[in-house]
Amino acid sequence: MKVCKYLYQFLTKILAVTASACLQAPRRNYVILTLFLCLNFINATPAVAANLSSDLLKQPATEITVSLGNAANELKFEPNHLELLAGKRYDLRLTNPSQLKHYFTAKDFADGIWTQKVEAGKVEIKGAIHEIELKPGGEAEWVFVPLKSGIYGLRCPIAGHTEAGMIGNIVISSN
Ligand SMILES: [Cu+2]
C-alpha cells in the first residue's frame, strides 16, 4: 500500500506539472482539480471495497423477512416498512406465498447499499441488483450492507399492483 501511495503522489505531481506547463493560467486550476479528482476516485474505490470485505461483511447478518403478497392474494408487502442501520449487515428474505408474480423494486435503495450477494434456489448472484422478481411460491435472499441514509420507496411495478397499494418504504439511518 505504501508503494501505491508514493506512486499516487508521484503521478499527481507529474500531472500537475504537465498541466501547468501546457495550459493558460485561467484553465489550469480547473484541469489540475479534475485530474486530481480522477486519481482520487481510482485510489478510493478499491479501499472502500477492501474495508467492506474485511470488516462489515464479516458481521453476523440480521434476518428480515418480507412477504410479497400473501396466501389470500392481497396486493401488499408484509411488512411494508423497514428500518435499517447503515453499516450493519442484513439478510433480507423475500417470499411470495401468493398465486401471482410480484417484484421487489427499490432502485434508489439499491443504489444506497452494498450488495454482497443474492441467493435464489441454487444460484448465487454477486454485484449490484436493482429489483427482484418472485414467481408464485418463489423465495430469494438478499445479503447487503446499507451505506447511504435516507427514506427509499419500495413498490411492485406490475400493472395495477402499485395502484392497489403494493408499496412500502425502507429507512436507512446512520444511528
Ligand atoms: Cu405485485
| Per-residue confidence (pLDDT) for residue 163, from 0 to 100 | 97
Which grid cell sits at 23? Answer: 495550459
Q: How many CB atoms lie under 10 A from the CB of residue 64?
A: 15
| Ligand 1 centroid – CA 154 distance (Å) | 11
Give the residue from 106, 107, 117 showing the smallest Cα distance to 144: 117
Share of the chain above pLDDT 70, in %: 69
| Ligand 1 centroid – CA 105 distance (Å) | 10
Enumerate the domain spans of the chain. 2-54, 61-173
| Per-residue confidence (pLDDT) for residue 33, from 0 to 100 | 37
DSSP label at 3?
H
Express each pLDDT in 140-164 by its tens digit: 999 999 999 999 999 999 999 999 9
Indicate the Cα dihedral angle 33, 36, 37, 39, nearest 10°: 160
What DSSP element (H or E) covers 37?
helix 25-54
At 4, the pLDDT band (50, 70, 90 cuts) reads very low
Mean pLDDT of 1-19: 45
- Give me the CATH code for the 61-173 domain, please: 2.60.40.420
